[in-house]
């Protein structure tokens, strides 16, 4: 059965981390990944992984950009709607991608890019309108500090294990991963949590005190369930 990922656009990454914590997953927030541009909408997609390792001088050369195993080749393999998740081993003095590669990803229908590394050509990247979550900017090219290895294999990004086709949710709180095998279970739980917290916020705005409300005690659970019947 196909899963409707669009529903996750109604769920914050903060809510998702809470739901995943209840399921025993604590390490799902990709460290260092922040929106490069303000005001981006929430974005959801399947992970398409790319992996760099630290630069080795005989491999990290401008000539490597023409290799079949290159960032250029990886971009041409990206499916529509995916989110490119790039393991840059936390290197912050070499930009993994610039404006030309971002423009091509946007043209191919890639939803966004997430990395624990940094971007270059930042003005041009912003002009493309392509959504990027990263850990800053740097002028030098990727080969100044990184060697590209492969795509669509397990990676570590921001300290999180990311496998191809895991689900990534992006918003102003960062990037959160949902394991592919858990998505169908997590969606209804997270939607219900958002609904509950919306009701709690209404009660707070009406003057209710926090104890027994957040989290709700048995009395307030009944009140919440009754409110659902009226809506």
Same domain flag for 219 and 189: yes
Specify the number of domains making up the chain: 2
Q: Are residues 129 and 38 in the same domain?
A: yes
Angle between helices 183-205 and 13-22 (to 10 degrees): 120
Name the residue range of residue 191's domain: 185-230
- Tell me, yes or no, whether 43 and 120 share the same domain: yes
Q: For residues 69-79, give the mean pLDDT.
A: 96
Q: Is the peptide bond before 215 cis (omega within 30 degrees of 0)?
A: yes
Which CATH number belongs to the domain containing residue 60 in this structure? 3.50.30.40
Cα separation, 99 vs 124, in Å, equals 5
Residue 165 CB: number of other CB atoms within 10 A? 15
Q: Is residue 154 domain-shared with residue 225, that is, in the same domain?
A: no
Residue 120 shares a structural domain with residue 198: no
**Is residue 171 domain-shared with residue 152, that is, in the same domain?**
yes
pLDDT band, very low/low/confident/very high, at 218 (cuts 50, 70, 90): very high
pLDDT for 187 equals 98
Q: Are residues 150 and 220 in the same domain?
A: no
Integer angstrom CA distances of residue 30 from 19, 115, 177, 218: 16, 8, 8, 35
Cα distance between residue 43 and residue 198, in whole Å: 21
Is residue 169 domain-shared with residue 220, that is, in the same domain?
Answer: no
- 184 band by pLDDT with thresholds 50, 70 and 90: very high
Give the global pTM. Answer: 0.94
Question: Are residue 114 and residue 205 in the same domain, yes or no?
Answer: no
* 69 and 37 co-located in one domain: yes
Say if residue 75 is in the same domain as residue 151: yes
pLDDT digits (tens, 9 = 90+) for 10-38: 999 999 999 999 999 999 999 999 999 98
């Amino acid at each position: 059965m196909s899963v409707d990922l669009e529903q996750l656009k109604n769920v914050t990454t903060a809510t998702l981390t809470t739901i995943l914590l209840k399921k025993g997953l604590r390490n799902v927030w990709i460290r260092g990944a922040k929106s490069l541009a303000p005001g981006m909408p929430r974005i959801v997609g399947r992970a398409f992984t790319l992996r760099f390792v630290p630069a080795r001088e005989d491999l990290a050369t401008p000539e490597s950009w023409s290799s079949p195993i290159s960032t250029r080749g990886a971009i041409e393999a990206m499916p529509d709607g995916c989110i490119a998740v790039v393991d840059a081993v936390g290197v912050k003095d070499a930009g993994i991608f610039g404006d030309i590669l971002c423009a091509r990803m946007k043209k191919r229908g890639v939803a966004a890019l997430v990395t624990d590394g940094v971007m270059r050509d930042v003005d041009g990247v912003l002009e493309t309108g392509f959504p990027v979550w990263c850990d800053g900017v740097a002028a030098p090219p990727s080969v100044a500090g990184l060697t590209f290895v492969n795509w669509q294999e397990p990676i570590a990004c921001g300290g999180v294990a990311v496998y191809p086709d895991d689900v990534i949710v992006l918003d102003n709180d960062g990037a959160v991963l949902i394991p592919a095998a858990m998505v169908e279970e997590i969606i209804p739980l997270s939607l219900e949590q958002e609904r509950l917290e919306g009701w709690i916020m209404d009660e707070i705005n009406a003057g209710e005190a926090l104890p027994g409300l957040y989290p709700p005690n048995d009395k307030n659970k009944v009140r919440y369930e009754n409110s659902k019947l009226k809506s």
